[in-house]
Amino acid sequence: MMLSDEPYRWAEAVANRRDYIEDQIRAGSPVVGVGYEDGILLLTLSQNQQKVFEVYDRITLAGIGHSTDIEKLRQAAIDMAHSIGFNYSEDDVTLRQIVYFGLGPAIKAGFDDVVHSPFLARVLLAELDGQEGAQVFYSVDYDGAFHRHEGWAVVGGVAEADVMMGRELSGLDTGALSLSDAAGAALRAWAMGRWVGKMDEVPTDAEQLEHKAGEVDVADVLETELKDMEVEAVVLGRSQLGKNKYRNVDAEEIAPALAKFKETDKT
Amino acid sequence: MQSGGDFVDLLRQTGYRFPGENLGDVQSERDLPFEPTDATTILAFQYADGVLVAGDRRATAGNMVLYDRADKVVDLDAFSVMAISGSPSIAFEIARILEHAFQYYRRRLLQEMSLQAKLRRLSLLIKDNLPLAMQGIGAVIPIFATYDRVDARGKIYFYDALGAQFESADFTTTGSGSPAIRGAMYYLNRWGGRRFVEMDRDAAIGHALQLLDTASEYDSATGRYERSADIFPSVKTITASGLAEIETEALRELYVQYVDGEEAGRA
C-alpha cells in the first residue's frame, strides 16, 4: 500500500501519528532549563530513574516521553559528540551540530517512517559557553522540528504546557540568578507544566487556558507530586574545575528553594 | 547485545585505524634490533596522601634536544594520569584515546569505568601497538597512577612494551634516566630515615625534584630545572580529592629548599 499515492490518507496518517505520540507523552514529567549566575540548571521531577544526562563536557540532555526512545537519542548524541571531540577537538563539539546533523534528522526520519514506531519523545539540550552563547538550549520535538532558545527553555507533554511554563520563566535575568532562585523558578514552571499535562482536556483557547491556570496553586501541585517523585537537577557550572562542567545538584542545594516555595505560596 | 560503551569500537566504526594497524608489511630499511625509545625519566611513588608522579620536560631525538617543555604526565580523568616514556606520538595518541574512552564509558553506560577495566584498556592499546613497537620506533612504556576510591589509597601500575601490567608497591621509575635513580629510590625508601609513604606533600615533591635532578646528572636525555627559561619538571599528585598539578611557584620554593638550598644534601 502506497500511502503517498493518496494525499488525503497520507495526511490522515500523519495526523493520527501526531495524536498517538502526543497522547503517549502528554502526562510525562516536564523538563525545565534555566540559566543562573554560574551556568545552566536543568531540572525535573522523576521516580527513581535518571532523566537528565551528561552528553559532553558542556552539553547535557533531558527528555520527556518513552525512556527507551530517549535512551536511543541520548546514545546517538554521545556517540556524535565523542567522535567529533576525538577526531577534531573538544571545542569543535557544538550543540548545533548535534541537533542539526544528528538528533533533528534522526527524529524526523523516525516520524516520517509511518510503518515503524516513531520516537515517543521530546528532548531538551543545553550548552554552556558554546559558540552560540553562554546559555543556549535546543528543544527537539517528536517530529524532528527543533528550536533554539537563550536563557531558559522547557519541554512539557503538550505544546500548551510549554507556553504556560514559559510564562513562569520569561523576564528572568538568567545571568544573575542564584542557583537557589533558578531552582525556585524551575520548580514553579515544572509544576505548571505538569498541571497542564495532566488536564483531562487542555483548552485550545489561550485565554481560557490562562484563566484556568490562574486558579492553580502550583505549591499544591508540587507538594502532591513530591509524595512519589524526587527533584532531579544537574548544572553545567563554569566554576567547576577541569574541562567537564556537568555536575549533579545535591538535594541540600535544592532544599532552600523548596522551602521558600512553600512559604511564599502559603502567604 | 552490545552495551555500546567501547570508545575504540566507535572510533573503528568511523574509520579510525590505530597507527600500528596501518603499518602492514612496512619494514624499516635497516634490520634494527628491538630497542625501546624511552629517552626521559618518569617516577612515581606513594606518599602520605596518595600518589605522586613526576617527569622531566626534555624531548630528544638521538643526541639532539628537541624541546624542553614536553609534558609527559598526562591527565586521563580527575583521578588518574598516565606518565609517558617511549614514542611520544603513540603515547599521546594512547592517552587521548583513553581520556575519551573513560568519559565515553561513563556517559554512555551511566557508570564509572572500574579501575581494573581502565588498566585493561591501557594494556590492550599497548598490545595493539605491537607492530610499531617491534619496528623499534613506536614502543610505549607508561606508568598509570590513580587514586582508588574503593580501597581509599593511591595505586601505581607499570607496563612492559607488550602490555603486561604490574602493580608497584612503593615506587617505580621508567625511562632512560631510571637506572640512575632506581637504586637511589630503593636506598631512600629503605634507609633514608623516612619511607616515601610517610612523607608529607612537600617532602614528597622535594624528593621527586632531587631524584629527577640526579637522573639528569647521569642521563643526557633527561632534563633538569631549566634556569634560562624557568622550566620545572612536571609534578602531579593524586589524592582522595583528585588530581592536582603542582604550580611553578610551589615547585620553585621546594626546589630552593630541597635541591639548591638548605635541605640540599640531606635526605
The cell for A120 is 515517543
Average pLDDT over residues B10-33: 70
Residue B193 CB contacts under 8 Å (≥ 6 apart), including other chains: B267
Could you tell me where the beta strands, DSSP code E, fall in A47-205?
52-56, 59-65, 121-130, 133-140, 146-150, 152-155
Q: Is B9 inside a domain boundary?
A: no
Cα(B181)–Cα(B63) distance, integer angstroms: 21
Examine the pLDDT at B23 and tell me if it is beyond 80.
Answer: no
Complex confidence, ipTM: 0.91
Examine the pLDDT at B33 and tell me if it is beyond 80.
Answer: no
Could you tell me where the beta strands, DSSP code E, fall in chain A?
31-36, 39-46, 52-56, 59-65, 121-130, 133-140, 146-150, 152-155, 230-237, 246-248
Question: For position A130, which CATH number holds?
Answer: 3.60.20.10
Q: Which residues of B touch A75 (CB under 8 A)?
A: 4, 108
Q: Is A1 inside a domain boundary?
A: no
Q: Is B155 inside a domain boundary?
A: yes
> How many domains are contained in chain A?
1
| B40 is a catalytic site residue | yes
Taking alpha carbons only, the member of A146, A145, A130 closest to residue A94 is A130
Contact B239, B154 (CB under 8 A): yes
Distance from CA of B222 to the nearest CA of A (A): 29
Can you give the pLDDT at residue A267?
A: 47
Of the listed ranges A233-242, B127-136, B151-160, B216-225, the least confidently predicted one is B127-136
Can you give the pLDDT at residue B36?
A: 52
B79 interfacial to chain A (CB closer than 8 Å)? no
Q: Residue A255 has what DSSP assignment?
A: H
Residue type, B106: R
- Residue by residue, DSSP assigns chain B as ------HHHHHHHTT---GGGG-TT---SS---------S-EEEEEETTEEEEEE---EEETTEEEES----EEEEETTEEEE--B-HHHHHHHHHHHHHHHHHHHHHHSSPPPHHHHHHHHHHHHHHTHHHHHTTS--B--EEEEEETTTTEEEEEEE-TT--EEEESSEEEESTTHHHHHHHHHHHHHHSSS-GGG--HHHHHHHHHHHHHHHHHH-TTS---BTTTTBPPEEEEEETTEEEEPPHHHHHHHHIIIIISTTTT--
Cα(A245)–Cα(A40) distance, integer angstroms: 10
Average pLDDT over residues B244-259: 94
Exposure string over B172-207, b if 16+ CB within 10 A, otherwise e? bbbbbbbebbbebbeebbeeeeebbbebebebbbbb
Range of the domain at B85: 36-260
Taking an 8 Å cut-off on Cβ atoms, the answer to whether B108 and A53 are in contact is: no
Q: Which residue, among A79, A232, A234, A247, would best test binding to B if mutated, counting the most B CBs under 10 Å from its CB?
A: A79
Taking an 8 Å cut-off on Cβ atoms, the answer to whether A87 and B14 are in contact is: yes
What's the burial of A193, exposed, middle or buried (CB within 10 Å: 0-12/13-18/19+)?
Answer: buried
Among A198-212, B54-68, B182-196, the range with the most confident prediction by mean pLDDT is B182-196
Taking an 8 Å cut-off on Cβ atoms, the answer to whether A86 and B107 are in contact is: no
* A78 → closest Cβ in B14, B97, B107: B107
Could you tell me where the beta strands, DSSP code E, fall in A52-117?
52-56, 59-65
Q: Is B47 inside a domain boundary?
A: yes
Can you give the pLDDT at residue B21?
A: 72
Average pLDDT over residues B67-96: 90
> How many domains are contained in chain B?
1
Q: Predicted confidence band at A126 (pLDDT cuts at 50, 70, 90)? A: very high
Q: Which residues of B touch A244 (CB under 8 A)?
A: 78, 103
Q: Is A56 helix (H, G, I), strand (E, B) or coil?
A: strand
Average pLDDT over residues B114-135: 89
Q: Is B225 inside a domain boundary?
A: yes
Residue type, B65: V
Examine the pLDDT at B32 and tell me if it is beyond 70.
Answer: no
Q: Is B27 inside a domain boundary?
A: no
Question: For position B154, which CATH number holds?
Answer: 3.60.20.10
Average pLDDT over residues A195-219: 88
Cα(B215)–Cα(B192) distance, integer angstroms: 18
Distance from CA of B242 to the nearest CA of A (A): 11
Q: Which helix (H) or strand (E) holds A187?
A: helix A179-197
Could you report the per-residue pLDDT of B58-71, keeping only the tens digit for each? 888 778 888 888 88
Q: Is B211 inside a domain boundary?
A: yes
Q: Is A244 helix (H, G, I), strand (E, B) or coil?
A: coil
Examine the pLDDT at B261 and tell me if it is beyond 80.
Answer: no
Can you give the pLDDT at residue B28?
A: 55
Q: Is A132 inside a domain boundary?
A: yes
Q: pTM, whole model, 2 decimals? A: 0.90
* A82 → closest Cβ in B10, B78, B110: B10
Q: Is B6 inside a domain boundary?
A: no
Integer angstrom CA distances of residue B155 from A267, B193, B196: 57, 23, 14
Range of the domain at A51: 28-266
B116 interfacial to chain A (CB closer than 8 Å)? no
Taking an 8 Å cut-off on Cβ atoms, the answer to whether A83 and B10 are in contact is: yes
Q: Is A135 inside a domain boundary?
A: yes
Average pLDDT over residues A120-145: 96
B231 interfacial to chain A (CB closer than 8 Å)? no
Distance from CA of B98 to the nearest CA of A (A): 10
Q: Which residues of A touch B106 (CB under 8 A)?
A: 54
Q: Is A10 inside a domain boundary?
A: no
Taking an 8 Å cut-off on Cβ atoms, the answer to whether B107 and A55 are in contact is: yes
B32 or A209: whose pLDDT is higher?
A209
Average pLDDT over residues B114-126: 94
Of the listed ranges B46-60, B136-150, B192-206, B230-244, the least confidently predicted one is B136-150
Q: Which helix (H) or strand (E) holds A83?
A: helix A67-87
Examine the pLDDT at A6 and tell me if it is beyond 90.
Answer: no
B2 interfacial to chain A (CB closer than 8 Å)? no
A120 or B37: whose pLDDT is higher?
A120
Integer angstrom CA distances of residue B15 from A87, B9, B183: 11, 10, 46
Q: Is A209 inside a domain boundary?
A: yes
Contact B17, B5 (CB under 8 A): no
Q: Is A138 inside a domain boundary?
A: yes
Q: Is B266 inside a domain boundary?
A: no
Can you give the pLDDT at residue B16?
A: 87
Residue B175 CB contacts under 8 Å (≥ 6 apart), including other chains: B38, B39, B40, B41, B42, B55, B85, B141, B215, B221, B222
Can you give the pLDDT at residue B267?
A: 45
B109 interfacial to chain A (CB closer than 8 Å)? no
Among B29-38, B42-51, B53-62, the range with the most confident prediction by mean pLDDT is B42-51
* B14 → closest Cβ in A50, A56, A83: A83
Cα(B254)–Cα(B236) distance, integer angstroms: 14
Nearest 5 degrees, angle CA B115-CA B120-CA B121? 100
